[in-house]
Chain A
Amino acid sequence: MKYLSEYRNPALANEYLKRIHEVVTRPWNLMEICGGQTHSLVKNGIPALLPYQVNMLHGPGCPVCVTSMHTIDEAIYIAAQEKVIFCSFGDMLRVPGSVSSLLQLKSTGADIRILYSPLEAVEIARQNPEYEVVFFAVGFETTAPANALSVIQADKMGIDNYSILASHVLVPPAMEALLGDPENSIHAFLAAGHVCSIMGIDEYYPISEKYKIPVIVTGFEPLDLLQGILMAVTQLEKGEYKVENQYARAVQREGNRLARNSMQEVFEIKDRTWRGIGPIVNSGLELNDRYKKYNARLKFKPAIPVAEENRHCISGDIMKGLKKPVQCPNFGTACNPEHPLGAPMVSSEGACAAYYHYSNTNNN
């Protein structure tokens, strides 16, 4: 397909791999931030093609994985109410809460719908005035603008039976949290290209400067990732630490101003607990005062206790880059896609799911 096959060109991939092998002299830990990048790496078998010195660590950029168990429980509580139509992106449905998942609740008859766009949820609310329609607004800076737009739209149309359960998270505070961890071993970041297409790249200069770490804004196709890896190891071998933009075809330095404006209109920055990682200061978005009537938490007041994470799940260590999924004693045994202990096993962007589905060959 146009614009895809070009970025999967085998000859160019081999050329990048050759250059990576030429440049690398020492061991380096590179973290790709985004779960989409993790999947692309593993799906294309890239880790096995890299020099042994280049170790890819899989970052926390999987929105499904980092949504706290308490938030999942809140979603399940709201979706189970009478006269509620609960709308969500598809891959949130399988994520385990403390006792069940949205998918299990759906099987018992709850009206839970998979949508591609929050604007569809506003339309459902318009068509069903006797129902409360709730959209599960998860995701990073990539999904926040569309979710913000749905609230603005509902407000303009005077639709009062629409609300969102917001669990938005922000990438740069998480990067700083990882770098501040005493066990941190990350030498360079491949920053998440699509987040940067919204937010631009200015946020990364202070991080790169403060922690003396290369940050390469990187895309998702095999050639994007290989080029990003080459740029990172080239800097590391030269002892440099700069912000570079590999994904210039999608990312402009200033990002997408219109998208950011809609985010700023409805959201404010709040502390957020990341599943497996814990609380990170100023790392989330919640609806601001002006739009609080669209806040499902305030509308439904889910009074449920904060449940403890499964002690056997090491997803936090995996998302901090401290461990690989295969180093988890429960990987593929007690924890599998049908009976997950944690979210990374069921999310389409989760590192455990990527390893489970794709790296089960004798070559790896």
Chain B
Amino acid sequence: MISCPMPIFDFDIITPGHGSGGMLTHRLLQSGVFDIFRNDLLGQQHDGASFEISGKIAFSTDSYVVTPIFFPGGNIGDLAVNGTVNDLAMCGASAKYLSLSFILEEGLQMDELWKIMVSIKEAADKAGVMIVTGDTKVVEKGKGDKIFINTSGIGVIHPGADIHHNNIRQGDKIIISGRLATHGVTIMSLRKGLEFETELKSDTTCLGHTVKKLLDIFGTDIRFLRDPTRGGLASVLNEIAGLTKLEYLLYQDAIILDPQVEAACEMLGLDPLYIANEGIFVSVIKQEKAGSFLEELKKDINGIHAMEIGEVRSENPGKVILQSSIGGKRAVGFLPGEQLPRIC
């Protein structure tokens, strides 16, 4: 943890003036944001950051609107850094520079914003990424949900990487780096009206170093990477099944869930294949290298629970199929809308 006491502000909640561009904005930035994220590029205090970069680059953006903003295992701040850093990692890139934009709702407590900023700083340091430009806007009370964050990031692509669904071939193996649905179920357990007690923690984390290490060893034998966030594993696999016109066969028995996640899904009638994840990725690996890839991944702190869950075939082109534990098969389609809890 960074020791980063909150500076003494003469305001304890966010007001419309903090997004006005005037004096309050200036004071918020000068005594808070610039201090905590201090670096040479941000220090330019220009409309944008200027820098040189060499090599093939990846560029990604994402917005974060999670409720509640604080949850076991993290908050919207580290989520916003890890999410974009991970999107870049899935392109085979090491994140270098991030932009950071806040949309704050009038009335947000300053100490909450400070906690979020400290988490952003910690997550950025851990990922080795610099926050070089940003923006703050304030919306009226009732027009937002405390805080929305957008981050965009630029990363340099690993010279040995060629990650694209076009590289996927029949026989390739599907490997996930951790247990499914932990983040989504953690968040759900905190939502109003659904509160149920678990000891679960969100697995939000930066996957950049893990992916880099694997690319160093396996290079182009890593055909495809994706972090199955919103929509879960089923949505990612359906997307690439459609694009590659191949079948993605999953073995239900091979998909091990955290026992608490499994219990929550059974109780609420939710399918973990569709639930959002944060700290895990799904990979498609060349058949001959799948064993050693899994072995290597399991050595990493982010891959302790990694598992091979299926393979790429040609029988049902464009489909994701799940083989149940008793041997029957069924299709796993796209999710229409939101998963709604069932009656009984």
Q: Which residues of A contact B (CB under 8 A)?
A: 1, 4-5, 8-10, 13-14, 36, 42-46, 48-49, 63-64, 89-94, 103, 113-116, 120, 138-140, 142-143, 194, 222, 336-338, 348-349, 356-363
A139 lies within 8 A of B324 (CB) = no
A66 to chain B, nearest CB (A): 12
B96 to chain A, nearest CB (A): 40
A361 lies within 8 A of B343 (CB) = no
Q: What's the Cα separation between A10 and B341 when bound, in Å?
A: 28
B343 lies within 8 A of A91 (CB) = yes
A222 lies within 8 A of B269 (CB) = no
A348 lies within 8 A of B342 (CB) = yes
Q: Does B4 contact A (CB under 8 A)?
A: no
Closest 7 CB pairs of A and B: A45-B328, A90-B340, A337-B336, A13-B326, A90-B341, A360-B331, A358-B330
* Chain A, Cβ-Cβ closest to B324: A44
A261 to chain B, nearest CB (A): 20
* Chain B, Cβ-Cβ closest to A360: B331
A338 lies within 8 A of B343 (CB) = no
A356 lies within 8 A of B266 (CB) = no
Q: List 10 A-B contacts (CB under 8 A).
A: A36-B344, A46-B326, A49-B326, A64-B343, A89-B343, A94-B337, A94-B340, A138-B343, A357-B332, A361-B330
A-B interface pairs (CB < 8 A), number: 120
> With A10-B326, A338-B336 known to touch, is A359 a contact of B341 (CB < 8 Å)?
no
B330 lies within 8 A of A359 (CB) = yes
B333 lies within 8 A of A63 (CB) = no
Q: Does B193 contact A (CB under 8 A)?
A: yes
Q: What's the Cα separation between A87 and B268 when bound, in Å?
A: 17
B330 lies within 8 A of A143 (CB) = no
- A361's contact among B194, B269, B319, B341, by CB below 8 Å, is which? B319
A143 lies within 8 A of B342 (CB) = no
Q: What's the Cα separation between A91 and B327 when bound, in Å?
A: 29
A29 to chain B, nearest CB (A): 20
Q: Does B316 contact A (CB under 8 A)?
A: yes
Q: What's the Cα separation between A94 and B340 when bound, in Å?
A: 9
* Chain B interface helix/strand/loop/mixed: loop
B193 lies within 8 A of A120 (CB) = yes
Q: Does B321 contact A (CB under 8 A)?
A: yes
- B194's contact among A116, A358, A363, by CB below 8 Å, is which? A116
Q: Does B315 contact A (CB under 8 A)?
A: yes
B342 lies within 8 A of A361 (CB) = no
* Chain B, Cβ-Cβ closest to A2: B259
Q: Which residues of B contact A (CB under 8 A)?
A: 193-194, 253, 259, 262-263, 266, 268-269, 315-316, 319, 321, 323-333, 336-337, 340-344
- Residues of chain A within 8 A (CB-CB) of B329 are 45, 48, 361, 363
> With A336-B336, A337-B336, A360-B333 known to touch, is A46 a contact of B328 (CB < 8 Å)?
yes
B193 lies within 8 A of A115 (CB) = yes
B15 to chain A, nearest CB (A): 26
- B342's contact among A89, A140, A336, A359, by CB below 8 Å, is which? A89
* Chain B, Cβ-Cβ closest to A87: B193
> With A42-B330, A43-B324, A363-B329 known to touch, is A63 a contact of B344 (CB < 8 Å)?
yes
A45 lies within 8 A of B327 (CB) = yes
Q: What's the Cα separation between A14 and B344 when bound, in Å?
A: 29
Q: What's the Cα separation between A362 and B329 when bound, in Å?
A: 10
Q: What's the Cα separation between A34 and B266 when bound, in Å?
A: 17
> With A358-B331, A360-B319, A361-B319 known to touch, is A1 a contact of B263 (CB < 8 Å)?
yes
A114 lies within 8 A of B344 (CB) = no
B266 lies within 8 A of A1 (CB) = yes
* Chain B, Cβ-Cβ closest to A363: B329
> With A360-B333, A361-B330, A362-B315 known to touch, is A222 a contact of B324 (CB < 8 Å)?
yes
A224 to chain B, nearest CB (A): 12
> With A357-B333, A360-B319, A361-B319 known to touch, is A139 a contact of B343 (CB < 8 Å)?
yes
> With A1-B262, A48-B329, A361-B321 known to touch, is A142 a contact of B344 (CB < 8 Å)?
yes
- Residues of chain A within 8 A (CB-CB) of B343 are 63-64, 89-92, 138-139, 143, 348-349
Q: What's the Cα separation between A356 and B330 when bound, in Å?
A: 10
A361 lies within 8 A of B331 (CB) = yes
- Residues of chain A within 8 A (CB-CB) of B342 are 89-91, 348-349
- Residues of chain A within 8 A (CB-CB) of B268 are 116
Q: What's the Cα separation between A143 and B343 when bound, in Å?
A: 8
A113 lies within 8 A of B193 (CB) = yes
Further contacts, 20 of them, CB under 8 A, given A1-B259, A356-B333: A1-B263, A4-B262, A4-B266, A13-B327, A45-B327, A46-B326, A46-B328, A49-B327, A90-B340, A90-B341, A91-B341, A103-B337, A142-B344, A194-B344, A222-B326, A348-B340, A358-B332, A360-B319, A361-B329, A361-B330
